Structure 1
Amino acid sequence: MQDILSNQEIEKLDLSKIAALQQKRTLAFVNHFVITTVQFLNTFAKKCEKKLMLFEQKLEKVEAAMILLEARLSSIPEINEPLQTDTNAESLNTSEIKSEDRTDDSKKEVKEIEDKPEDNVSQTTADTVIKPEYERFIKLVQVGVPLQAVKLKISIEGLDPDEFESMLKK
């Protein structure tokens, strides 16, 4: 109904009596809108680019620190053999606890039982072959770098993170 009413009103209007729009004023409004919008977009793009550059610089610093940390870790000789020493230390700790709890008669039996797991540990470490390209990543995990971060680094370098995880589990 509104369309019909508006059409009827339009037919009754005398367009010669209505003043024309001021073309210069309309053009000035459009120009002002375009100019302010372009200025806003330019400043926004500059701010975004500056923030992106700052983020990129921070990321480069973190990467440089990571490289330095990896170099420092590779220079420490004790980190090269942590798997063997850790498993031997754990077996020694458990043997001390067990031997304290047992009586003198059963100490001999406990020592015999304890000798067998050490042989098994050496066999399992001998069975698991650690590939040289994964050694530095194993060091990172042992030092305390989160496993997910190390997996990401491995995948960035084009290696298989699943294979690395299977090496850690062994």
Structure 2
Amino acid sequence: MEEDVNYEELPGLSYNKTITYINDFVIKSVHFLNKFSTNCERKLSEIDSSIKRLDTIMNIFEDKLSSIEGLDDIDVPRETTSTTTTTTTTTTTEENKEEENKEEEKEEIQETSNVVKVKDDLRYRKWCQLVMRGVPKVAIRMKMEAEGLDPDLLDDPEQPAPPMTDEELKKIELMKQQEEEEVDESEESEEMSDGEFSD
């Protein structure tokens, strides 16, 4: 049998005990949350580093594939096994769709091959090389803005470069002429030095 207890007559908990219980609960909760947050940050940093590593590997792989000529014309053979007539019809339709998709991709690749990328453009090539060497983007951004170029294009160097204006085309032609003159001068100086040594 349960005894009738009048809780109003029972003495309450002491003030010191309630404070110690609350403090203990708060301390344990804070320790748990700190440990949980540090573990989450550590795992996120590991995931971020692995994603960056995979990104660099993919970029290297894409550059190596792009350097090989004639990959677009290669057709990969497929092995299709069908048990019933329904499966044969579905596989043929899927193959037709895949061939159509391949043809569309080839057309897109041919169209994009004529487009100059930001990293290959003469206006942005040196800036992309500076970024790859570890130069701070803040300094590069200021210099590019001073030259009238868009620094946001360095975030994605694989995207197509904006069209050149007439003034930019003239500048690039002058730069090419200067480079050719420097090459000719260096060749002449080498020939002169070879002639002096031969004498």
* TM-score normalized with structure 1 length: 0.42
Higher RCO, 1 or 2 (CA under 8 Å, sep at least 6)? 1
Q: TM-score, normalised by structure 2?
A: 0.37
Structure index of larger Rg: 1
